A and B are shown apart, each in its own frame.
Chain A
Amino acid sequence: MANPSSTLVAAGHPKSSPKSRPKNGPKPKDTRPVWMEKPKPAVQVSKAIALVVICFLALYPLLAVLATSLSSQSEIANNNGLVLFPKEPTFAAYQTIFAGGVVTDALIRSLVITTVGTALSLVVTVAMAYGLTRRDLVGGRFFLMTALFTMLFSPGIIPSFLMVKELGLLDSYAALVLPTLMSAFNLVVVRSFFMNLPQELFEAAKIDGAGDFRILVQMVLPLSRGVLAVVGLFYAVGYWNAFFNAMLYLNDDKWPLSMILRQYVLLGQPMGDSAVAEIAVPSQAIQMAVVVISLIPIVIVFPFLQRYFTKGVLTGAIKG
């Protein structure tokens, strides 16, 4: 539902057009320009403090959750609920969770939904984006407009719900994937990236007898890894974090991890599973362990894809 990247679209990014920074070369400055006076120590100190505070505010909640998940009940009680440095770290909470039961099942379900959904979304997005790169395509403008106008309105919660119901998708995993299969924003990003590839290459291939599909698979895709990585990340994050569609369409035996999180951590309902309801492990540690588990994939994937943010998305996003 929420477009994770809509703020990205508008501004031109410097790296996309080398013209915008003619003198400084391709890399941003790493040394102070000669004309810039050295800031006063007071300014530098306050800037450093500001940066440390910002990083602390961004990371503290996550670290606190991680530390709490590794703590024992007595330690959590002594520290008034949140621990920052567990004295005797214990994996008891994780052992309990991974002993089987609700959370493990939901974790597997979430991983499968995210993988399958992201793959499907990427295929459909890439196919449509590539099809729309032909300049004088029959009906090309119409197809493009059909996609773009979906950014301006949403059909509304109730009509969307009724559509899924009419299609007979209630209580099926397809209800988590199909309604959010593609975002017009990602389509535009991929399409503009394709259009900025050197077209002469493809014309040469065409003269050599390669068909449209073969050009896509053998030439375009290998050149587009960066943008595919970023758009794939957007889709994957969307599927991984989505809970509302699951809440709306699925019974609890099909819930993904995000819904488990809502139910057992936010609403504090019992997990309904004897293995998990053990008393030896503090329930708060288990709750925080579930949060950590749902954070792990994002934190793992994030650094690998980060270098593509500027390379992939921004270059793709500015040019028509």
Chain B
Amino acid sequence: MSSNSQTLTPQATPDVGGPATVAEGRCRGRPPAAPAAGQSRKKSLMARIRRDKVMLLLIAPGFLYFVVFHYVPLAGNIIAFLDYKPYLGFMDSVWVGLDNFAAMFQDGAFWEALRNTLVITGLQLALFFPVPICLALLLNSIVSNKIRKFVQSVVYLPHFIGWVIIVAVFSEVLGATGAVPHLLENLGLPRFDAMTTPEFFPFLVTIQSIWKDAGWGTIIFLAALMNVDQELYEAAAVDGANARHRLWHITLPGIMPVIVLLLILNLGSILSVGFEQIVLQRDNVGPGAGEVLDTYVYFHGIQDGQWGPAAAVGLVKGIVGLFLVLGANKLAHFFGQEGVYSNGKSK
């Protein structure tokens, strides 16, 4: 509990009693830990390394992994400033300064991708975000343990299904030869192919996300709901508050910190949409509606070989995204939430 990393570990216990527990942990942990740390500092570095050699060896492979696949590639972003040609490599490609960035701002396709990204994330925030909350409230109100467990199992399952399968299943149900268009036809309504209609694409993506992850998203809200002090309900009921009053004055205020936290974190990742999900379906509707920032980078860079300009877009997206996430975390701290850095990539 009182590790040296306390501020960074996921410790957001935002509910009733949460902060108290954290503070308690600190008080309990500090005094005995301090002398121990003081002692070890007196030991020579070599002695400490000798003592920790097994631990350091165990850390080595993982550390190496993070360096090789997360930190070293950062240097590869240099090609955003190059007229990169794969056969010339990093060294011999021509340095073009900020030309790639200038090109980016003049590229209509980039603005289109940015717009599509924001439309989709905005729509997800509006339509997807409330669903797990409502679902959690519904689940929480089930009295029978058996039924609740069963429903939970059912709604968690889709989270573990990959996007390829989900898109395949959705085209089977909603696609041109699928069940829903046939149903519409039989009812005498105009045919509507949800998979290939560009205007519908943001909704399609959002519906798929809801199907996959709304159930999984309830976990966090269910946890928050169970942390609400049960005695409050009892006291309120004794004082004559009905179910709606209790929902409005106890439940919602009780889980509001978690809702605010997740909302902020979602705002922080507003430039990121599920890449795998979009890349599978972009060609169904064409780039005009289906291109987002990540797929722009992939199709223009790796597919079409415009390495430099695409990398510039990727770099700008990465930097703006990082600041958005950091800003979101700051904001979350401002609202009194602890240790949310580890949640930076949520959704």
Rounded to whole angstroms, the CA-CA distance of A216 and B58 in the bound complex is: 11
The answer on a CB contact under 8 Å between B3 and A135 is: yes
- In the complex, chain B residues 12-38 whose Cβ is within 8 Å of any chain A Cβ: 12-18, 21, 33, 36-37
Q: Known contacts A9-B343, A291-B168, A306-B153; is A61 also within 8 Å of B173 by CB?
A: yes
Rounded to whole angstroms, the CA-CA distance of A43 and B226 in the bound complex is: 22
| Interchain nearest-CB distance for A176 vs B (Å) | 13
Is A319 located at the chain interface by the 8 A CB criterion?
yes
B62, B315, B344: the one within 8 Å of A127 (CB): B62
Q: Known contacts A68-B172, A127-B58; is A179 also within 8 Å of B69 by CB?
A: yes
Is A204 located at the chain interface by the 8 A CB criterion?
no
Q: Which range holds the interface residue count of chain B? A: 35 or more
- In the complex, chain A residues 163-210 whose Cβ is within 8 Å of any chain B Cβ: 163, 167, 178-179, 181-182, 184-185, 187-188, 192, 195-196
Is A111 located at the chain interface by the 8 A CB criterion?
no
The answer on a CB contact under 8 Å between A160 and B73 is: yes
B45 nearest CB neighbor, chain A only: A138
B16, B279, B322: the one within 8 Å of A153 (CB): B322
The answer on a CB contact under 8 Å between A131 and B58 is: yes
A130 nearest CB neighbor, chain B only: B58
The answer on a CB contact under 8 Å between A136 and B36 is: yes
Q: Identify which of A11-19, A101-109, A269-277 touches chain B.
A: A11-19
Q: Known contacts A6-B347, A136-B36, A302-B160; is A243 also within 8 Å of B73 by CB?
A: no
The answer on a CB contact under 8 Å between B243 and A39 is: yes
A24, A61, A212, A309: the one within 8 Å of B170 (CB): A61
Is B177 located at the chain interface by the 8 A CB criterion?
yes
| Interchain nearest-CB distance for A308 vs B (Å) | 12
Q: Which range holds the interface residue count of chain A? A: 35 or more
Contact with A along B154-198 (1 / 0, CB 8 A): 111111111111011111110001110011000000000000000
| Interchain nearest-CB distance for A80 vs B (Å) | 4
Is B215 located at the chain interface by the 8 A CB criterion?
yes
- In the complex, chain B residues 312-347 whose Cβ is within 8 Å of any chain A Cβ: 314-315, 317-318, 321-322, 325-326, 337, 339-347
Is A279 located at the chain interface by the 8 A CB criterion?
no
The answer on a CB contact under 8 Å between B344 and A314 is: no
Rounded to whole angstroms, the CA-CA distance of A178 and B230 in the bound complex is: 47
Is B113 located at the chain interface by the 8 A CB criterion?
no
Rounded to whole angstroms, the CA-CA distance of A295 and B164 in the bound complex is: 11
Rounded to whole angstroms, the CA-CA distance of A288 and B299 in the bound complex is: 29
Rounded to whole angstroms, the CA-CA distance of A28 and B105 in the bound complex is: 56
Rounded to whole angstroms, the CA-CA distance of A39 and B318 in the bound complex is: 51
Rounded to whole angstroms, the CA-CA distance of A130 and B55 in the bound complex is: 7
Is A258 located at the chain interface by the 8 A CB criterion?
yes
Is B54 located at the chain interface by the 8 A CB criterion?
yes
Q: Which of B14, B165, B168, B221 has the most C-beta atoms of chain A within 10 angstroms of its own C-beta?
A: B165
The answer on a CB contact under 8 Å between A294 and B147 is: no
Rounded to whole angstroms, the CA-CA distance of A9 and B10 in the bound complex is: 6
Cβ–Cβ < 8 Å partners of A152 in chain B:
322, 325-326, 341, 344-345
The answer on a CB contact under 8 Å between A138 and B172 is: no
B57, B79, B234, B337: the one within 8 Å of A33 (CB): B234
Can you list 16 residue pairs at the A/B interface with Cβ under 8 Å?
A10-B10, A35-B237, A47-B141, A51-B142, A54-B135, A82-B173, A124-B61, A154-B70, A155-B69, A156-B317, A157-B294, A159-B75, A178-B65, A184-B66, A298-B161, A302-B160
Interface residues of A (CB under 8 A from B): 1-4, 6-14, 17, 19-21, 23-24, 28-33, 35-37, 39, 47, 50-51, 54-55, 57-62, 64-65, 68, 80-82, 124-125, 127-128, 130-132, 134-141, 143-148, 150-163, 167, 178-179, 181-182, 184-185, 187-188, 192, 195-196, 211-213, 216, 233, 237, 240-244, 248, 258-259, 261-262, 265-266, 284, 287-288, 291, 294-295, 298-299, 302-303, 306, 309, 314, 317-320
